[in-house]
Amino acid sequence: MGAGSPGTNIIWALALISTLSLIHPSEGDRTGMSRRDAFLSKESVLDMAPSSYDDQYKGCTEAMEAEIPTLFQYEYSSNKDFAEAWDSATFRWEERKGKMVVPPGFKDQYAIAIFAYTSSGPLHRIFNEAVRQAGQSRQYYLTNFNFKVLHYYLTRALQMLDAVESPTCHKVFRGIKGVRFKSEPRKPVRFGQFTSSSKDDQSALSFGEDTFFSIHTCYGVNIRNFSFFPSEEEVLIPPFEKFKVTDFSTMSRKNIITLQSVEKSSVYN
């Protein structure tokens, strides 16, 4: 499991629950995938996102499943944004699950986590901001990352859906407003967060054109059936997918980046 293995991290986190305090970032709403595009700078370099918490939970899912219920109670009671999104997602899943076919062993919590992530409140933004920073150190993960449950459930959901998905790779697009990402051909990069994309280029363009990505992903998963916005044809890319930049160009002050999936790349595994 590598640096800061999640089984150990969760045990320490449970021990620290009584002393942890939750810091609420500024809130905001959105409609559709644009909610997941919260980057602070106008220009940003696309790199390997070295501070990302990118755990795949290899070899420790049983330990995690045993510890998660206690941690869930803490994060649910401490984090209003998480609790509200979770409640809304639970209601939506109860409406849909009788009509869905899911992989064997796919738990309700996995589906609810995806619905919560795609909900219209601020959870997605706050969560992704936290994911991009939580891997900077074990201590930071333990004391500052208040989304351990959501990260685990989302990761497991994508892994289980990906295992039965056909085709296994997707051509997708991602449009961003307000940030122009820069990169270089042949450079290895990761998004370092759970990254929303669309199979429909026009849908992706509607969310922004300052940076436009054309992405070949082999670990992103089609979550249309688990989304509050199924018409977006969303494919969700995990933090640990590594890409190679195959093309970078600028046109009318818009940056266009083409990415090709290479492999999984995790510090925390």
| Domain boundaries of the chain, sorted by first residue | 6-17+34-264
Q: Which of 36, 174, 214, 232 is catalytic?
A: 174
Q: How confident is the model at residue 237 (pLDDT cuts 50, 70, 90)?
A: very high
Query: Which amino acid, residue 99?
Result: K
Under 8 Å between Cβ of 14 and 67: yes
* Section 20-32 average pLDDT: 38
Question: For this structure, is 41 an active site residue?
Answer: no
DSSP the chain: --TT-HHHHHHHHHHHGGG-----PPP---SGGGGG---SSSEEE----TT------TT-HHHHHHHHHHHHHHHHHH-HHHHHHHHHHHHHHHHHGGG----TT--HHHHHHHHHHTSSSSHHHHHHHHHHHHTT-HHHHHHH---HHHHHHHHHHHHHHHHH-SSS-EEEEEEESS-EEE--TT-EE---S-EEEES-HHHHHTT-SSEEEEEEESS-EE-GGG-S-GGG-EEEEPTTEEEEEEEEEEETTEEEEEEEEEEE--S--
Q: Which of 183, 196, 197, 198 is catalytic?
A: 196
Residue 35 has pLDDT above 80, yes or no: no
Q: What is the reported pLDDT for 26?
A: 33
β-pair type (180-182, 43-45): parallel
Rounded CA-CA distance 262/243 in Å is 5
* Section 183-210 average pLDDT: 93
Q: How confident is the model at residue 20 (pLDDT cuts 50, 70, 90)?
A: very low
Q: What is the reported pLDDT for 40?
A: 42
**Polymer length of the chain:** 269
Q: Which of 67, 232, 233, 234 is catalytic?
A: 234
Q: What is the reported pLDDT for 18?
A: 36
What percentage of the chain reaches a pLDDT higher than 70? 85
Q: How confident is the model at residue 132 (pLDDT cuts 50, 70, 90)?
A: very high
Q: What is the reported pLDDT for 47?
A: 96
Q: What is the reported pLDDT for 9?
A: 54
Q: What is the reported pLDDT for 68?
A: 96
Q: Which CATH superfamily is domain 6-17+34-264 in?
A: Toxin ADP-ribosyltransferase; Chain A, domain 1 (3.90.176.10)
* Section 88-96 average pLDDT: 97
Q: What is the reported pLDDT for 37?
A: 46
Averaged confidence pLDDT in the chain: 87
Q: How far is CA 87 from the centre of its chain?
A: 19
What percentage of the chain reaches a pLDDT higher than 90? 76
Q: What is the reported pLDDT for 38?
A: 45
Q: How confident is the model at residue 30 (pLDDT cuts 50, 70, 90)?
A: very low
How is residue 149 written in tokens? 């449950």
Question: For this structure, is 174 an active site residue?
Answer: yes
Residue 2 has pLDDT above 60, yes or no: no
